[in-house]
Amino acid sequence: MNEEYYLKFPSVFKEKLRSGEIQFPPDTKVQYESRIAYRGIEREEADNTPVNRSDLRSYAELGKKRAPRGGRYDANSPNYYGCSLFLNRAMVENRMKLPRAGWKLANICVKEEGGPIQLNEDTQHLCWWLYESYNEFEASIIK
């Protein structure tokens, strides 16, 4: 990965990559086969707006300044700049049972054209570092 490659990412992330403050984890995959993953997206009951880039913004992109507690999540973790999806829909449904979800469940085809990923088969968690301009989602809202 080089500086030109880093320019593809949202500004909040690319500056950290360029300065060397943040690095992709060693198990990051840039080339991979497309696969379906699930994510909750914020939609009102009657709102059927297709999945778009703003549904897949990381906490860093959302500009949330206060660091969450628990695990290794902080502004120095590359995962803070990625977007969470799950291979198993039940993992997302667990989130939807917790406060302030107000979401619908979407299945989204994760493609290498959208950016690199880190996949943990044990936790079913997929972190997707989306390129800033990527907005061609093959996705559907399933409930």
Partner 1 sequence: MNNDVCFIIDNNELYFEKCLVDYDIPIFYVCKDSKGNRYIVLCYDTDEMSYLVAKSNNSEIVQMLEKKITMKQIFEKSKNIWKIYTEDDLESDKVEGVEFESINSEDLPVEKSFFEIASKDLKEYYDFIKCESEGYKLKKFIKAQPQIIWYMKNIQEYNIVTDSLIYNYSVKKKTEKNRTLFWSELSYKQVQKLSLEWENDCCGSELSVTRPKVTHREVLCCE
Minimum distance from CB of 49 to partner 1 (Å)?
Answer: 20
The residue within the footprint of partner 1, chosen from 7, 67, 133, 138 (CB under 8 A), is: 67
| 77-116 binders of partner 1 (CB under 8 A) | 80, 83-84, 88, 90-100
Pseudo-torsion of CA 47, 51, 57, 58, nearest 10°?
Answer: 100
Does the footprint of partner 1 cover residue 143 (CB under 8 A)?
Answer: no
The rounded distance, in Å, linking the Cα atoms of 96 and 7 is 34
Shortest distance (Å) from residue 91 CB to partner 1:
5
Q: Does 64 bind partner 1 (CB under 8 A)?
A: yes
Residue from 45, 66, 113, 143 in contact with partner 1 (CB under 8 A): 66
Instruction: Say how far apart CA 96 and CA 118 lie, in whole Å.
Output: 23
- Of residues 23 through 42, those in contact with partner 1 by CB under 8 A are 40
Q: Tell me the C-alpha to C-alpha distance, in Å, between residue 126 and each of 15, 37, 94.
A: 23, 8, 16
By CB under 8 A, how many residues form the interface with partner 1? 33
70 binds partner 1 per the rule CB under 8 A: yes
Positions 117 through 136 that interact with partner 1 (CB under 8 A)? 120-125
**What are the residues binding partner 1 (CB under 8 A)?**
40, 58-59, 64, 66-73, 80, 83-84, 88, 90-100, 120-125
